[in-house]
Every structure is written in structure tokens, then in C-alpha cells.
């Protein structure tokens, strides 16, 4: 496994496991998530997954999407859980990761590979509302990484701040309608094989034979006419 693959896998593991463990480490007593927390969590994760660009044409997933799970919560807190989804992509042996986070405690500096909408949320989702949305794209400089950056729907992510989250079904429907990008410089998909075209009369192997048969028939008719004319001359 090369260094980039290891780094990507480590990053995914952090996304999947880091937030729940860090949260529970500070807990003295835990409790089950409330119905309101569960609904907000499910809606937020579905919205984050729907915001991940689909796999570009000719590419593939490096592994399954990474999302956190909603486990035990700390007593005395509300909405203190991580809300993010990430997806690892591969194209022509180049790897990139896209992540979308909701209610991040820290915001990245805009650098062309990440952006944040809304203020930081130190208490994460304490109010069970969208305070900020952050997206990031990582990986070595490549056409794949650029295609993923271009595939981020910035306007939609920014519009999520301060608004009620869509239902899980609405986010899933939105993700299903997403159109995959084409990586710059990638070869066009090979055309699907089609049945050979039916030969035209001019190019068909039987065409010369048919033409020859027509010529033979014409010659025979001319010969008969000539014989008849000769017979007429001799009165026969």
C-alpha cells in the first residue's frame, strides 16, 4: 500500500471514529440520544452524504462512505455529536477525499480546496440547528481532485445554514439525481458494440452477381431479337 493510500485510510478512520470517542472520553454519565437528537442527526448525515459529488466518469470508490454513528450521549449536553460524511475516490490510480461537515467546532481557512459557511460552532449541534457547513477536498494535485472541487454545490451548502434540514428521503432523492463529472483529459467511454450495418445493395457481395444476372438476361433477349430479325429477312 503506498503512502497516499495509507494517509487516506487513516483520515477516513479518524472521520469515522474520532468524534464519538473524543466526546465520550469527557463523559461521566451517559444517556441514550433523544428522539429530537436522532432525527436531527439522521437528517444531517443524509444531507452531508447527498452533498458529496458522485463518482466521476471512469472513476471508482476507494471504499464505502465514512459516516459517524449516533451512540450514547453525555448527560447534561444536547447535540454534542459529530456530523460529517466523507467519500474516497480513485481515478487512474490517483486518490482524493471529499468531506462535508455540519456544525464544525473549527473552520478551515479558504484555500481553494475547502470553504466554510456560517460561524464556528463550539458546542456543535447543541441547538439542533445548522450553524455552519464545511467542505474539504484532499489528495495530490490531479484532474480528479479538480473535478471533485468543481463538483461541490457551494450554493446549496451555503443555503443550508440556519435552515431546517431536508428529510432523509429528500436528501437521498437529491443524491440520486446528481450527475457525475468527467475528469479532464480522461478518455471518452468506449462506444458500445453494435450489430454490423446491413450491407447496401452497392456493397453487398450479392450485388455483383445480381448485376451479372441482369446483364446476362439482357444479352439473351438481344440475341433472340436478332434471330427473329434474320428470320424476317429470309421470310421465315
Looking at the 3D structure of the chain, how many domains does it have?
2
Q: Does residue 32 belong to any structural domain of this protein?
A: yes
Asked if residue 102 lies in contact with residue 47, where contact means CB atoms within 8 angstroms, the answer is yes
Asked if residue 74 lies in contact with residue 24, where contact means CB atoms within 8 angstroms, the answer is yes
Q: Does residue 47 belong to any structural domain of this protein?
A: yes
Q: Does residue 197 belong to any structural domain of this protein?
A: no
Largest CA distance in the chain: 133
Task: Supply the range of the domain harboring residue 129.
Answer: 3-177
Q: Does residue 106 belong to any structural domain of this protein?
A: yes
HSE of 208, CA atoms in CB hemisphere, 13 A: 2
123 and 58: one domain? Answer: yes
Q: Does residue 45 belong to any structural domain of this protein?
A: yes
50 and 133: one domain? Answer: yes
Q: What is the pLDDT of residues 126-172, one digit of tens each?
A: 999 999 999 999 999 999 999 999 999 999 999 999 999 999 999 99
107 and 209: one domain? Answer: no
Band (184; pLDDT cuts 50, 70, 90): confident
20 and 96: one domain? Answer: yes
213 and 169: one domain? Answer: no
230 and 165: one domain? Answer: no
16 and 106: one domain? Answer: yes
167 and 212: one domain? Answer: no
147 and 232: one domain? Answer: no
Per residue in 120-158, is it b (16+ CB within 10 Å) or e — as a string? ebeebbeebbbbbbbbbbbbeebbbbbbbbebbeeeebe
pTM: 0.70
Residue 148 host element (H or E): helix 143-150
Q: Does residue 26 belong to any structural domain of this protein?
A: yes
74 and 126: one domain? Answer: yes
125 and 224: one domain? Answer: no
Instruction: State the chain's mean pLDDT as an integer.
Output: 80
pLDDT at 153: 96
pLDDT at 187: 56
Cell output for 230: 434474320
Asked if residue 133 lies in contact with residue 116, where contact means CB atoms within 8 angstroms, the answer is yes
DSSP string, 25-93: HT-SSEEPPPHHHHHHHHHHHHHHHHHSPPPPBT-EESSPPB------EETT-SS-S--EEEEEEEETT
Alpha-carbon distance values, 181 to 34, 84, 142 (Å): 39, 22, 14
Q: What is the pLDDT of residues 55-111, one digit of tens each?
A: 999 999 999 999 999 999 999 999 999 999 999 999 999 999 999 999 999 999 989
21 and 76: one domain? Answer: yes
Q: Does residue 182 belong to any structural domain of this protein?
A: no
Q: Does residue 230 belong to any structural domain of this protein?
A: yes
Amino acid at each position: 500500500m503506498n503512502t497516499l493510500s495509507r494517509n487516506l485510510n487513516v483520515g477516513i478512520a479518524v472521520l469515522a471514529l474520532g468524534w464519538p470517542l473524543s466526546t465520550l472520553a469527557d463523559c461521566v454519565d451517559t444517556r441514550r440520544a433523544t428522539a429530537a437528537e436522532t432525527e436531527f442527526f439522521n437528517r444531517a448525515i443524509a444531507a452531508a452524504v447527498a452533498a458529496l459529488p458522485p463518482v466521476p466518469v471512469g472513476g471508482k470508490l476507494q471504499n464505502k462512505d465514512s459516516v459517524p454513528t449516533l451512540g450514547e450521549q453525555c448527560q447534561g449536553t444536547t447535540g454534542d455529536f459529530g456530523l460529517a460524511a466523507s467519500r474516497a475516490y480513485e481515478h487512474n490510480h490517483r486518490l482524493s477525499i471529499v468531506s462535508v461537515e455540519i456544525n464544525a467546532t473549527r473552520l478551515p481557512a479558504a484555500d481553494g480546496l475547502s470553504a466554510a459557511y456560517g460561524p464556528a460552532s463550539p458546542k456543535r449541534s447543541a441547538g439542533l440547528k445548522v450553524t455552519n457547513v464545511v467542505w474539504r477536498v484532499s489528495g495530490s494535485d490531479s484532474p480528479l481532485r479538480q473535478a471533485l472541487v468543481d463538483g461541490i454545490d457551494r450554493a446549496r451548502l451555503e443555503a443550508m445554514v440556519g435552515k431546517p434540514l431536508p428529510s432523509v428521503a429528500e436528501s437521498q432523492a437529491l443524491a440520486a439525481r446528481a450527475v457525475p463529472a468527467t475528469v479532464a483529459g480522461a478518455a471518452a467511454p468506449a462506444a458500445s458494440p453494435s450489430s454490423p450495418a446491413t450491407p447496401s445493395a452497392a456493397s453487398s457481395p450479392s450485388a455483383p452477381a445480381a448485376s451479372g444476372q441482369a446483364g446476362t438476361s439482357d444479352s439473351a433477349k438481344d440475341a433472340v431479337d436478332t434471330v427473329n430479325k434474320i428470320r424476317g429477312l429470309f421470310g421465315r
